[in-house]
């Protein structure tokens, strides 16, 4: 290089040039909320109970002298909750005439050995109670979701819902997990 | 020592910072503009609802009317809507708003009722569409559904704190002697768009330094918070959620054991912690859960709660400012600092004003770039035309290589 002095471009390095339009492309990111808004409102309707007790309603179950509606809250695979393991949310609704007789309800995957080990206690008003149910490490697809109910009269009643009825997505997930291991 | 050389290098460095400043926000400017705008609206969304819906206002029937206690509210709701199950009663911080009473109906739907704090009358029912929550979701995670604890929309939005903090720092470096702008504000309106947007960008920028810093740092915390959550790291000292001991739940009688009254629970908490104002009360969510009484204490940014055993009235667990670690006081202050919802309407309006300025900062930055590059392109076209007439400098250089 000889003494040719190159005049520096005052805009060197600055964004722009011939492809200025590219800097407006982030407008396309606004498609995200537009595309996802129907799903957002569907989830809101689920949250407020307008689309039912859950995404998959399992219908009314008799448990002892009482009647309860059970639902799989979201019809997807168990969610990874980190240290707590994988969880599935189930919801129940007591019939109005039974609500005042129920002291506590519990969910567990696999048959509980005693009331002390009945599983997770459900929370919420009697017309909408939920619990995040842990998926045990050694669960088999033939296991069941057990609902244990304690009445204020001191009685305890149980009902088992086969896992393939309670959550087919969990069965699919278990099969997939079994294959990868 | 030469004086010209450091000055030249300084100029070169400033130029480099200008390049960094330009690249930080420009490639994503529409998204950043959108997030700033929706955040600005979200700040005052409660007030917008107040203006639009008379049923969320707390109108005093007579000038000397006094607010009802929680038991009277509960009784009024249960009388007006027999069979509903009340789960939560909240007295908004600002007394112009009606009470929020969360209920579930026997058909399984849950709703928020707007209840007059003086009469207990149900003035309205919240719908599935909640403008406040919608604006919050649009601003905070672009409506991307949460899977477990996180949503990728949350990551996308909170990651914008990085260019925002970078823009603030580089902006102050590029703007030579910016402190002079405080004393001699300059906003030239009649010298063309480039000059106007440049003046606006600098003037709004220097006055927004604390606000932008708060937004960038708190949003940066939201990013860190979710990275921590995704990796199962917690800074919480709260421990295992408290439950009512099985032996405290009355077993005999065969019927549902009665709870102590909500006003009594509030009174018991007040006796123990006189500075805790009972702004909300959560009813037990099952036979083994507490009545939770909560509100603001002496430090307005953090809510304090106390758990009362519904059967024997013992205050069994607290989560007060003094129960938190120093780190938690910092991290839990981040959200109120971001939303500005802790000192009343005046602060919200301040946040709204600076939110608008910040939104316009994004827009004006883009306009400066647009006008500047428009000039540059025009000049480039002129240069190319000139080069056609003469052998170009570029051509000479290319030949030499």
Mutate to test the interface with B, among A8, A127, A155 (most CBs of B within 10 A): A127
**Residues B281-293 pLDDT 10s:** 999 999 999 999 9
3-state SS class at B97: strand
- Restricting to A residues 73-102, those with a Cβ less than 8 Å away from any Cβ of B are 79-83, 93, 96, 99-101
At CA A103, angle to CA A98 and CA A107, rounded to 5? 95
Per-residue exposure over B66-79, b if at least 16 CB sit within 10 Å of its own CB, e if not? eebbbeebbebbee
The answer to whether B232 contacts A69, with C-beta atoms less than 8 Å apart, is no
The answer to whether B370 contacts A20, with C-beta atoms less than 8 Å apart, is yes
The answer to whether A26 contacts B23, with C-beta atoms less than 8 Å apart, is no
The answer to whether A15 contacts B27, with C-beta atoms less than 8 Å apart, is yes
**How large is the average pLDDT for residues A53-58?**
96
The answer to whether B144 contacts A96, with C-beta atoms less than 8 Å apart, is no
Per DSSP, the residues of B147-190 read BTTB-HHHHHHHTTHHHHHHHHHHHHHHSTTTTHHHHS----SS
The answer to whether A30 contacts B31, with C-beta atoms less than 8 Å apart, is yes
All CATH 2.60.40 domain ranges in chain A, comma separated = 53-180
A121 and chain B: CB distance < 8 Å anywhere?
Answer: yes
pLDDT at A10 over 70: no
- Name the burial class of residue A8, with classes exposed (0-12), middle (13-18) and buried (19+) by CB atoms within 10 angstroms of its CB: exposed
Per DSSP, the residues of B128-157 read S--HHHHHHHHHHHTTPPPBTTB-HHHHHH
pLDDT of residue B317: 95
Count CA atoms within 13 Å of residue B243 on its CB side. 12
**How large is the average pLDDT for residues A50-57?**
95
One digit per residue, pLDDT tens: chain B, 401 residues?
444 567 778 788 888 999 999 999 999 999 999 999 999 999 999 999 999 999 999 989 999 999 999 999 999 999 999 989 999 999 987 889 999 999 999 999 999 999 999 999 999 999 899 999 999 999 999 999 988 778 999 999 999 999 999 999 999 999 989 999 999 999 999 988 999 999 999 999 999 999 999 999 999 999 999 999 888 888 888 888 899 999 999 887 778 899 999 999 999 999 999 988 899 999 999 999 999 999 988 898 999 999 999 999 999 999 999 999 999 999 999 999 999 998 889 999 999 999 999 999 999 999 999 888 777 767 767 777 777 766 544 444 444 43
Which is more confident, B376 or A110? A110
Number of domains forming the structure of chain B:
1
Q: How far is the C-alpha of B225 from the C-alpha of B11, rounded, in Å?
A: 39
Q: How far is the C-alpha of B108 from the C-alpha of B99, rounded, in Å?
A: 22
Which residues contact residue B24 at a Cβ distance below 8 angstroms, ignoring those fewer than 6 apart?
B163, B166, B167, B170
The answer to whether B105 contacts A7, with C-beta atoms less than 8 Å apart, is no
CATH number of the CATH domain containing B105:
3.30.505
Q: Is residue B186 part of a domain?
A: no
Which residues contact residue A105 at a Cβ distance below 8 angstroms, ignoring those fewer than 6 apart?
A68, A92, A121, A122, A129, A147, A148, A149, A150, B286
CA B89 to the chain's CA centroid = 23
Residue B84 structural domain: 51-129
pLDDT of residue B1: 44
**Residues B68-79 pLDDT 10s:** 999 999 999 999
What ipTM does this complex have?
0.87
Q: Which residues of B touch A39 (CB under 8 A)?
A: 143, 145
CB-closest option in B148, B286, B369 to A122 = B286
Q: Which residues of B touch A127 (CB under 8 A)?
A: 85, 104-108
pLDDT of residue A8: 61
* φ/ψ of residue A128, rounded to 5: -165, 90
Nearest residue of A to residue B377 by CA position? A17
Per-residue exposure over B107-140, b if at least 16 CB sit within 10 Å of its own CB, e if not? ebbbbbbbbbbbbbebbeebebebbeebbbbbbb
Other CB atoms within 10 Å distance of the CB of residue A64: 16
- Nearest Cα residue to A105 out of A59, A136, A164, A145: A145
The answer to whether A11 contacts B376, with C-beta atoms less than 8 Å apart, is yes
- Nearest Cα residue to B282 out of B266, B301, B302: B266
pLDDT of residue B2: 45
The answer to whether B254 contacts A100, with C-beta atoms less than 8 Å apart, is no
**Residues A145-179 pLDDT 10s:** 999 999 999 999 999 999 999 999 999 999 998 88
Size of interface A-B (CB pairs under 8 A): 162
The answer to whether A29 contacts B147, with C-beta atoms less than 8 Å apart, is no
CATH classification for the domain delimited by A53-180, as one of 1.10.3470, 1.10.3680, 2.40.160, 2.60.40: 2.60.40
- Nearest Cα residue to B212 out of B167, B247, B264: B167
A4 and chain B: CB distance < 8 Å anywhere?
Answer: yes
Q: How far is the C-alpha of B360 from the C-alpha of B207, rounded, in Å?
A: 13
**How large is the average pLDDT for residues A57-76?**
95
Nearest residue of A to residue B24 by CA position? A15
Residue B292, token pair as written in the block: 């939770």
Q: Which residues of B touch A33 (CB under 8 A)?
A: 138, 142-143
Q: Which residues of B touch A101 (CB under 8 A)?
A: 256
A32 and chain B: CB distance < 8 Å anywhere?
Answer: yes
pLDDT at A7 over 70: no
CB-closest option in B110, B253, B254 to A48 = B110
Phi-psi category of residue A121: left, alpha or beta, with phi > 0 → left and psi -120 to 50 → alpha: beta
Q: Nearest C-alpha of chain A: how many angstroms from B128? A: 6
Q: How far is the C-alpha of B140 from the C-alpha of B132, rounded, in Å?
A: 12
Q: Is residue B75 part of a domain?
A: yes
Q: What is the DSSP letter of B231?
A: T
CB-closest option in B85, B144, B253 to A126 = B85
A43 and chain B: CB distance < 8 Å anywhere?
Answer: yes
Tokens 């808004």 belong to residue: A37
A181 and chain B: CB distance < 8 Å anywhere?
Answer: no
Q: What is the DSSP letter of B83?
A: T
């Amino acid at each position: 290089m000889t003494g040719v002095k190159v005049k520096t471009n005052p805009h060197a390095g600055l964004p722009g040039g011939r492809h200025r339009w590219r800097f407006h492309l982030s407008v396309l990111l606004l498609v995200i909320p537009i595309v996802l808004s129907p799903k957002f409102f569907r989830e809101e309707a689920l949250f407020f109970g307008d689309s039912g007790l859950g995404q998959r309603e399992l219908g009314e179950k008799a448990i002892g002298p009482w009647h309860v509606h059970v639902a799989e809250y979201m019809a997807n695979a168990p969610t990874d909750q980190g240290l707590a393991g994988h969880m599935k949310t189930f919801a129940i609704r007591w019939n109005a005439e039974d609500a005042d007789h129920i002291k506590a309800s519990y969910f567990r995957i696999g048959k509980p050995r005693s009331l002390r080990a009945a599983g997770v206690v459900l929370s919420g008003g009697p017309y909408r109670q939920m619990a995040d149910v842990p998926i045990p490490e050694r669960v088999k697809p033939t296991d069941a979701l057990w609902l244990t109910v304690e009445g204020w009269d001191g009685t305890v009643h149980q009902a088992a819902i086969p896992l393939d009825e309670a959550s087919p997505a969990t069965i699919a997930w278990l099969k997939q997990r079994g294959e990868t291991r | 020592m030469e004086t010209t050389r450091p000055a030249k290098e300084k100029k070169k460095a400033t130029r480099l910072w200008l390049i960094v400043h330009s690249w930080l926000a420009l490639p994503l400017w529409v998204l950043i503009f959108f997030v700033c705008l929706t955040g600005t609206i979200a700040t005052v969304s409660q007030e917008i609802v107040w203006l639009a819906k008379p049923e969320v206002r707390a109108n005093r029937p007579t000038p000397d009317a006094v607010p009802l206690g929680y038991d009277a509210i509960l009784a009024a709701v249960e009388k007006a809507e027999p069979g509903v199950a009340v789960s939560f009663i909240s007295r908004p911080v600002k007394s112009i708003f009606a009470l929020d009473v969360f209920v579930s109906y026997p058909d399984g739907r849950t709703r928020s009722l707007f209840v007059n704090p003086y009469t207990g009358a149900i003035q309205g029912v919240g719908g599935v569409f909640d403008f406040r929550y919608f604006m919050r979701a649009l601003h905070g995670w672009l409506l991307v559904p949460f899977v477990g604890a996180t949503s990728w929309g949350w990551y996308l939005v909170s990651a914008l704190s990085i260019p925002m903090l970078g823009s603030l720092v580089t902006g102050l470096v590029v703007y030579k002697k910016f402190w002079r702008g405080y004393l001699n504000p300059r906003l030239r309106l009649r010298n063309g768009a480039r000059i106007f947007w440049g003046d606006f960008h600098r003037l709004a920028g220097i006055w927004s330094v604390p606000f932008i810093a708060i937004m960038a740092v708190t949003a940066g915390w939201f990013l860190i918070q979710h990275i921590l959550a995704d990796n199962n790291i917690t800074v919480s000292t709260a421990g295992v959620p408290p439950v009512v001991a099985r032996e405290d739940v009355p077993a005999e009688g065969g019927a549902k054991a009665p709870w102590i009254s909500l006003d009594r629970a509030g009174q018991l908490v007040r006796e123990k912690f006189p500075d805790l104002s009972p702004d909300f009360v959560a009813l037990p969510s099952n036979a083994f859960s507490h009545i939770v009484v909560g509100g603001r204490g002496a430090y307005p940014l953090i809510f304090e709660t106390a758990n009362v055993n519904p059967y024997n009235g013992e205050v069994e667990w607290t989560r007060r400012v003094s129960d938190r670690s120093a780190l938690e006081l910092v991290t839990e202050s981040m959200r109120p600092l971001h939303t500005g919802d802790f000192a009343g309407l005046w602060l919200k309006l301040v946040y709204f004003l600076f939110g608008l300025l910040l939104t316009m900062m994004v827009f004006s930055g883009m306009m400066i770039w647009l006008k500047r590059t428009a000039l540059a392109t025009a000049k480039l076209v002129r240069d190319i035309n000139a080069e056609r007439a003469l052998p170009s400098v570029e051509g000479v250089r290319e030949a030499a290589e």
